[in-house]
Amino acid sequence: MKKKKEVTEKTEKFILTLKRKFKNPEIFEQAVQLAKDGQKAGYERLEFLGDRVVGLIVAEMLYKAFPNEQEGDLAKRFVQLVCAKTLAKIAMLWGIDDLIKGENKQLHHNKNVLSDVCEAVLGGLYLDCGIEAVQEVMKPTWEPLMLSYEHAPQDYKSKLQEWSQKNFQVLPVYQLLERTGPAHMPEFTVSAEAGPYHKLAKGSSIKQAEQNAAIEILKEINAE
């Protein structure tokens, strides 16, 4: 119980610090406002901006931290650090889930919403205070994540492509079969075929579903 309280106090302190960085509180309020009365979510325009700001800052951090890596490996690291899963975890760590405003409480813990609102907050901070303020907020959280990978994360689609070309002289084929779920929480079903191997997999995005399908084929290959 004590540990939980300490985490809560730390989160509250961070939220207070983050709010104080905003010169215009209305921008922060817009960044955490979900859709209401049938209108589009207040955070969406700021999320559009924040996506680019986060990408630029992470790309610069990687460029400076790994001077000897090629573009391909930097790209793999980049994807890992700006994907919805990572952003959602950071949003939870920062306590942004407790700040989201909207009648549908289930959305407050939705991965895609958390990711988008996290980007919206950072986009709003950039708009209000400039890029240096965003860097100050992001660096303490993103830098340890960035340095936690000694090697670039594995791209399973690339690995399957190399195997397929080597053994069958063909590229894997991916096909979108189905999209289900509401707009804020879609699920995609994809098929992947590489030589004699064929697998189906699901994911919260087409790219993630393709990666999952590639993983399933690679598992079967390794099992044999």
Q: Residue 187 pairs with which residues in a beta bridge?
A: 180
Whether residue 119 lies in the annotated active site = yes
Number of neighbours of residue 81 by Cβ within 10 angstroms: 22
Give, for 170, the enclosing helix (H) or strand (E). none
> What separation in angstroms does the CA of 172 have from each of 71, 175, 223?
23, 10, 19
Give, for 125, the enclosing helix (H) or strand (E). helix 111-129
Whether residue 9 lies in the annotated active site = no
Give, for 197, the enclosing helix (H) or strand (E). strand 197-203
Asked if residue 61 lies in contact with residue 147, where contact means CB atoms within 8 angstroms, the answer is no
Kindly give, in sequence order, each residue whose CB lies less than 8 Å from that of residue 220, ignoring residues fewer than 6 positions away.
Answer: 197, 199
Spot the catalytic one: 51, 116, 128, 210.
Answer: 51
Spot the catalytic one: 47, 97, 119, 216.
Answer: 119
Residues forming the active site: 51, 119
